[in-house]
Chain A
């Protein structure tokens, strides 16, 4: 059974700092990995999707990397801002599972002034 772990569970950083969020998964037979952002009381917003054949994806200040063989992904946030404060979730889609996702429990990020 696929298990997805995110460490740390919570993180607080001062504004302007670069930071890395970690995601690990136990079964490397994945089709893709997706990073989401969730604001309190809201739904999930997709940030980046990395196909299993890719090593990284970038969108603005965000960069996600994938090392399928070691079962790891990182989300790098450059020059953090208070508006980045949210919970970040990673989810993997196993090969052949018709778009079903297995989620981690998330990292709650707070960026302070």
Chain B
């Protein structure tokens, strides 16, 4: 398994540009989420999804959109980039609880390698 993959690794945008950060997982996880990591503030939840077609807002959703058309993919869209969105973005996934089949399940979160975004 590739686990959780994210593209691109690095991106520089100008204020007002839009872009999509890609996230994919091949572990058949129901739950997927996006976090941003800023110095001194820890990771903060942007949006999350409990399954295909279902998304909800996290702690800091403004300026971001998500969709979940398949179990595997959970892209994050920046609508009009602002310097305040300069950050490192992490995608994470986990099984849905409680476990139902195929052995023991936990909601251990698996993280992608991150996308470092700079908005000028």
- Determine whether the beta carbon of B42 is less than 8 Å from that of A98: no
Q: How far is the CA of A67 from the CA of B4 in the complex (A)?
A: 31
* In the assembled complex, B94 has its CB within 8 A of some CB on chain A: yes
Output the least CB separation between A98 and chain B (Å): 5
Residues of B contacting A61 with CB < 8 Å? none
- Determine whether the beta carbon of B114 is less than 8 Å from that of A43: yes
Residues of A contacting B107 with CB < 8 Å? 31-32, 49, 93, 99
- Determine whether the beta carbon of A105 is less than 8 Å from that of B40: yes
Binary CB contact string for chain A from 24 to 52 against chain B (1 if under 8 A, 0 otherwise): 00000001101010000111111001000
- Determine whether the beta carbon of A104 is less than 8 Å from that of B109: no
- Determine whether the beta carbon of A45 is less than 8 Å from that of B111: yes
Binary CB contact string for chain B from 16 to 54 against chain A (1 if under 8 A, 0 otherwise): 000000000000000101010000111111001010000
How many contacts A-B (CB < 8 Å)?
Answer: 62
- Determine whether the beta carbon of B42 is less than 8 Å from that of A99: no
Output the least CB separation between B25 and chain A (Å): 13
* In the assembled complex, A103 has its CB within 8 A of some CB on chain B: yes
- The interface size bin for chain B is 20 to 34
Residue in B4, B44, B50, B114 whose beta carbon sits within 8 Å of that of A42 in the complex: B114
Residues of A contacting B4 with CB < 8 Å? 43
Q: Given A43-B90, A98-B31, A98-B50, decide whether A34 and B42 contact each other with a Cβ distance below 8 A.
A: no
Binary CB contact string for chain B from 80 to 94 against chain A (1 if under 8 A, 0 otherwise): 000000000010101
Residues in A lying within 8 Å of B, measured CB to CB = 4, 31-32, 34, 36, 41-46, 49, 89, 91, 93, 98-101, 103-106
